[in-house]
Chains A and B, each alone.
Chain A
Amino acid sequence: MIYLLQGNLSVSDSGSYLPVAIQVLFVVGLIALLIFLTHILGPKRKTADKLQSFASGIESHGDARQPMAIKYFLTAILFVLFDVEVIFFYPYAVIFKELGWNGFLAVLMFVGFFLCGFIYILKKGALKWED
C-alpha cells in the first residue's frame, strides 16, 4: 500500500480527474448536509400510526416469507433475461450501416445462439403454466 503514496502524480493523470474528485466531494457533502438539515429543521411527531410499517401505502398483512409457486419467478426471470438481450440490438441499430455484412452475420450468430436458448427453454417446459 506504500506504493499508493509513492505513485507519481503526473499532470495528465491527476489533472484530468479533478472534476471527478470535485463531483465526489460535492455528492458526499450534499448528502451529509441534507441529512443533517432534515434532522435539525424537521418537526418530530411520533404517533402510533406513523411508526407502523406499511407496504405501498396500505397496512401490511401476513408473512413475507410465504412460499409461492416457482413459475412466477421463472417467468419473471426469463422475461428479464430476454429483455436484457434485446438491449444489445440498440447499439447495433445505430451502427448498422458501418458494420456492413460482417456485422449482420455476427448479429445473426447472436440471434442463433439466442434462439437455441429459447428452444431449450420451451423444450424444458419452463413456460408451461398448467401442470
Chain B
Amino acid sequence: MNALILSAVLGVIMMFSGVMLKQKSAVRNIAITGLFLLLVVNILEMSGMSFFRINTAGMMHFDRFSLLFNCIVFFSTFVYLLLSARDIEKTGNYYAEYFTLIFFILCGVILVSSFQSLLILFLGIEIISIPLYILTGSDKKNLKSNEASLKYFLLGAFSTGLMLMGIALIYGSVGSFSTAQINMTEKPGALMIAGMILLLFSMSFKVSAAPFHFWTPDVYDGAPTVFTSFMATIVKVAAFIAFIRLFGEAFGNLQPQWQIWIALITAATLFIGNITAVFQQSVKRMLAYSSIAQAGFMLLSLYAMNADAKEGLLLYSAAYSLATIGIFAVLIKMNDYTFDGFNGLAKYQPLLAATTTIFLLSLAGIPLTAGFISKFYMLKAAVATGRHLWLVIFAVLMAAVSVYYYFRVIQAMYFKEGQPGIITTSPVFKYTLVVLAALIIILGIFPNLLLNWYYF
C-alpha cells in the first residue's frame, strides 16, 4: 500500500515538476530519487512497516510474493532510469511527462501484482496499458512510432474488450469478482469456462504469447528504443505476475482443464519466438522476438503452478529484466541497430562489449549467470508436475536455438572488424552497467540471496 500511494503521488509531482522547473537535470534527479524512495518504502512494508491502513474490502492483498515482486520491479526501474534517463529526455519535448507516465505504469504494476478481485486486475491492466500507448507514440515526428502506437492501441483495446467480456461472463456465473469466491465454485458451468478462456486469450495477448504475439515485433520495433526497453522488461513481467495470480488463485481448481492449453501455448510461443529471432537482421527486432521466446519460458511457470514455479518466476523476472535492460541501454547508444553495427565494439569499447556479453550469456542461459538458474527453476517446476515431459525437452531444445542469435551479437563484437558508431557514455552509465553485470553473476551463483526474501 505504501508504494501504491507514493507512486501515484510521485506521478503527480513529476507532472508539475515539468511545469515548474526549467532544468532538465532537476526533473531527472527528482525521478531517480522518487524511484529510490519507492524502493525503500516498499522494503519497509516488507519488514512490517506499513504507513497506511486502508480497508480495501478484500480487493487487494499485499503478500510476500507481490511485495517481493514489486521490489524487483522498482529496482529494475531504478537501474533503467540510471542507465537511460538521459535518453528518455531526448525522445521528445515532454520529458517530465514521460517520467510521469512511468510512475503511473508502476501504479498499475502494483495493482496487478496484488489483486484479489477481477475489478482491480482490469483497472491495473488498463493503468499499465494506456500510458504505454502514449509512450509508444512519443516520437511524434516518426511515422513508425505513430504506426506502432496506433497498432498497439487498437489491438490492446480489442484484447481488453475480450478480458471485460470474460470478467462479465464469470461474474454472471459466480456472482462475485473475488478470486477466492471464483475458485470455490463446485461445478464450473459453461459460462464460467467461456469466461476463463476469454481471460486466457486476453492475458496471452498482454504477455505476447503465441498465437497472440503478432503485435509485439512491430510495436517493439516502432517504439522509441528507451520505451521498448521498459515495455519488454518491467511491463511484461508484471503481466506475467497478473497471469500467474489469476490462474493460480481464481482458476486453481480448474488446473486439469486449462493445463494442456497452456502447454500448447507455451510450446507455440517457444517455437515461434526462437525460430523467427534467428532470421532477424536488426538487433532491436531480434530482442523483440527474444522477448517472445523468454515469455515462452516464463509460461512454463504458469503451466506448472507449484511452489517451484512461483520462486522461479520471481527469479526469472529479475534475471530477464536486468539483462534485457542492460542490452537495451547499450543498444540505445549505438547509431546502427543491425548486427553489423556491433562489429568491432570490443576493440573500441571493451567495457560495454564485456558487460553486453554477460547480459547475452544470461539471456541464453549459460551457467554461472542468473539466466541459467532461472531457466533451471522453470524446468524443475515443469518436471515436478510429472506430466507432459515433451514440453520440457522441447523447451531445452529451443533454449539451444536461442544461443545462436544471442551469440551472433557476441561474434560481431569480438570477432569482426569494424568501427561502431557510438555516442559517448558517461561514467555513471559505465559503473551502473558493471554493477548490473556483477549482480547477474552473483544471482546466478547465489539465487537464494533473492529467494530468501520470499520466506523471511
Q: Does A77 lie at the interface of the complex (its beta carbon under 8 Å from any beta carbon of B)?
A: no
Q: Does B421 lie at the interface of the complex (its beta carbon under 8 Å from any beta carbon of A)?
A: no
Give Cα A4 to B258, complex, Å. Answer: 12
* Residues in A neighbouring B188, C-beta threshold 8 A: 7-8
Chain B 156-174 interface 0/1 with A at a Cβ cutoff of 8 Å (1 = within): 0000000000000000110
Give Cα A30 to B411, complex, Å. Answer: 67
A3 and B12 within 8 A (CB): no
Q: Does A124 lie at the interface of the complex (its beta carbon under 8 Å from any beta carbon of B)?
A: yes
> Number of B residues whose C-beta is below 8 Å from A?
16
* Residues in B neighbouring A88, C-beta threshold 8 A: none
Q: Does A120 lie at the interface of the complex (its beta carbon under 8 Å from any beta carbon of B)?
A: yes
Give Cα A44 to B16, complex, Å. Answer: 63
Give Cα A116 to B19, complex, Å. Answer: 12
Give Cα A33 to B200, complex, Å. Answer: 37
| CB within 8 Å of B: which A1-20 residues | 1, 3-4, 7-10, 13-14, 17
A12 to chain B, nearest CB (A): 8
Q: Does A26 lie at the interface of the complex (its beta carbon under 8 Å from any beta carbon of B)?
A: no
B380 to chain A, nearest CB (A): 29
* Residues in A neighbouring B197, C-beta threshold 8 A: 1, 3-4
Given known contacts A4-B197, A116-B15, A120-B16, is B187 in contact with A17 (CB within 8 Å)?
no
Q: Does A113 lie at the interface of the complex (its beta carbon under 8 Å from any beta carbon of B)?
A: yes
Give Cα A7 to B19, complex, Å. Answer: 56
Question: From DSSP, what is the main secondary structure of chain B's interface residues?
Answer: helix
* Interface residue from B12, B16, B190 paired with A9 (Cβ < 8 Å): B190
* Residues in A neighbouring B191, C-beta threshold 8 A: 7, 13, 17
* Residues in B neighbouring A14, C-beta threshold 8 A: 189-190
Chain A 111-131 interface 0/1 with B at a Cβ cutoff of 8 Å (1 = within): 001001001100110000000
A7 and B193 within 8 A (CB): yes
A75 to chain B, nearest CB (A): 20
* Residues in B neighbouring A124, C-beta threshold 8 A: 19
Give Cα A48 to B319, complex, Å. Answer: 69
A91 to chain B, nearest CB (A): 16
B12 and A17 within 8 A (CB): no
Q: Does B257 lie at the interface of the complex (its beta carbon under 8 Å from any beta carbon of A)?
A: yes
Q: Does B192 lie at the interface of the complex (its beta carbon under 8 Å from any beta carbon of A)?
A: yes
Give Cα A17 to B171, complex, Å. Answer: 13
Chain B residue nearest to A112 (CB atoms) is: B12
Give Cα A9 to B192, complex, Å. Answer: 10
* Residues in B neighbouring A10, C-beta threshold 8 A: 187, 189
Chain B residue nearest to A5 (CB atoms) is: B190
Give Cα A10 to B191, complex, Å. Answer: 11
Given known contacts A1-B197, A17-B172, is B15 in contact with A7 (CB within 8 Å)?
no
Given known contacts A1-B197, A17-B172, A116-B12, is B19 in contact with A123 (CB within 8 Å)?
yes
Q: What is the interface of chain A, defined by CB distance below 8 A to chain B?
A: 1, 3-4, 7-10, 13-14, 17, 113, 116, 119-120, 123-124
Which 7 A-B residue pairs are closest in the complex by CB-CB distance? A7-B190, A13-B189, A123-B19, A8-B187, A7-B193, A3-B193, A116-B12
Given A13-B190, A113-B12, 6 further pairs, Cβ under 8 A: A4-B190, A4-B193, A7-B188, A7-B189, A8-B188, A116-B15
Q: What is the interface of chain B, defined by CB distance below 8 A to chain A?
A: 12, 15-16, 19, 172-173, 187-194, 197, 257
- What are 7 contact pairs spanning A and B, CB under 8 A? A3-B193, A7-B192, A13-B189, A13-B190, A14-B190, A17-B172, A124-B19
